[in-house]
Amino acid sequence: MAILYLLHFEPPLRHARHYLGYTADSRRRLQQHLSGHGSPLVRAALAAGCTVTLVRTWPNGTRTLERKLKNRKHGPRLCPICNPRHA
């Protein structure tokens, strides 16, 4: 029961505005991120004063889907904040 999730940074951290992750325990993983124990990118965003928001999840996520979404680099298109019409 893993999910994929998309975090949105406001304001963006340099070129990074999103973080796409994969987890079997989204609530715990999100707490790790927000307390600075998740990915280095999210930690850097928090340290820079960005607000990090969980904007989207895909239930029944797989590593394959994660790789596919990451390769497409379509964070802004997948994000309901950046792209409310097409999310």
Please give the residue whose beta carbon sits closest to Zn ion in the complex: 79
Least Å from the CB of residue 34 to Zn ion: 17
Q: Which is nearer to Zn ion, 1 or 49 (CB)?
A: 49
* Cβ contacts of 34 within 8 Å, gap of 6 or more: 42, 46, 52
- Please give the residue ranges that form the binding site for Zn ion (CB under 5 A): 8, 79, 81-82
Q: Which is nearer to Zn ion, 9 or 22 (CB)?
A: 9
The structure tokens listed for 6 are 């998309």
3-state secondary structure of 27: helix
What's the rounded Cα separation, in Å, for the pair 64 and 52? 25
Least Å from the CB of residue 1 to Zn ion: 25
Least Å from the CB of residue 42 to Zn ion: 14
Q: Which is nearer to Zn ion, 38 or 78 (CB)?
A: 78
Angle formed by the axes of helices 26-34 and 40-47, nearest 10°: 50
